[in-house]
Amino acid sequence: MNQSDVLPNQHLKPTTSQRLWAGVSILLTIILLLAGIWYLFSRISLAEMAQALSAANPWLIAAALAVMLGTLLLKAWRWQLMYPPYRQAPPLPPFFWAMLLGAYINTLVPFLRLGELARIVAIDHGAGIKKTQTLATLVLEKTLELLMLGLTVLVVITAVTLPPALNQTTTTLTVSAAALVILLLLYLIATQTERIIRVMEAFFGRLPATLGQRLSRWTISGLAGLAALRSRKLVLSLLALSALIAACSVLTPLLLLRAFHLPFGWVEAAIINIAIMVALAPPSTPGKIGVFDGVVAFLLLQFGYSNEAVIASYTIVYHLVVILPLILLGSYAAAHTKTPLRQEWL
């Protein structure tokens, strides 16, 4: 591996502003957590909470947890498919654990947004894949996620008219349309790789030799990260997996709605999933505490449900189903990684 392909450790160290934002995030989390506990127990008795939890179907809760774990595996598989095998297909485990490491870091220190960087470094150490190539696959991954979010919104608005408080369809569809345009641009870049390389090498040839060679390597490596788009079979596979991941993301809250005997269906589950994705897109609080719970509780109230004990129980269980796999599996990935990122942060 070329030395120029390795990110120096000092690039992974948090800046003063990043540390400040981390402190603000932790303080905000503590405030929201204490406020939530106070609000919960000032309005709902322990007996009411216990009754709501005991009435829930444990098998459906377990099924929701299984779907969540399956979704993580599907995401890792989709990421693996973005690296077409030239000699030997890269194994799935490094992608799975690198993805969980990134999710774990983003969950604990969301204001710093180091999760994607952790994935890049971890997959380099785990599978020997160059960082610029991985960066291109992450761009493709985020584009597919935005596209599927837009399609989910489109399906929902054809089935139901959203109340004004929830109607952000124009913004979401605009972002998703932009994602479709980006995906088409990435496809064009991937299919014109040789021409782009010739043009860029001609330009880099006018630069100092060391700089030109380094930029050339980065360009070739980055274009390799879009290689999957050159295969129609792989493009269809990526789209199919992305659609399946989106369906699983709706199935998880739907199973929990059934578990708590709430009178809602797939449309409400899809709205909950969409709202959570939009609300958590910007950096939020560690563990998504407060933001996740507030969004879910607000939506259930908007749907016309008024039993606060059931709302609180559903919100807590849903949060645990989503967050526990990331914390437990992510901490295992962090404990077993030997990347420079771990030396600085873990």
Identify the band that residue 212 occupies on the pLDDT scale cut at 50, 70 and 90.
low
Which of the two residues, 232 and 13, has the higher pLDDT score? Answer: 232
Residue 9 backbone dihedrals phi, psi, to 5 degrees: -60, -35
Question: 112 is written with which tokens?
Answer: 């710093």
Question: 324 is written with which tokens?
Answer: 């526990």
Q: How far apart are CA 276 and CA 64, in angstroms?
A: 16
Query: According to the model, what pLDDT value does residue 48 have?
Result: 79
Q: Which distant-in-sequence residues (6+ apart) come within 8 Å of 101 by Cβ?
A: 115, 118, 119, 122, 330, 333, 334, 337
Angle at the Cα of 284 (from 46 to 106), degrees rounded to 5?
105
Q: Are 177 and 150 contacting, i.e. CB atoms less than 8 angstroms apart?
A: yes
Mean pLDDT across 210-218: 57
Q: How far apart are the first and last CA of the chain?
A: 25
Query: According to the model, what pLDDT value does residue 8 have?
Result: 37
Query: According to the model, what pLDDT value does residue 187 have?
Result: 64
Question: 48 is written with which tokens?
Answer: 């009411």
Q: Could you read off the pLDDT of 235-278 as tens digits, one per residue? A: 889 989 999 999 999 999 999 999 999 999 999 999 999 989 88
Q: Could you read off the pLDDT of 75-98 as tens digits, one per residue? A: 999 999 888 765 456 788 889 999
Identify the band that residue 66 occupies on the pLDDT scale cut at 50, 70 and 90.
very high
pLDDT at 297 over 80: yes
* CB neighbourhood size of 138 (10 A): 18
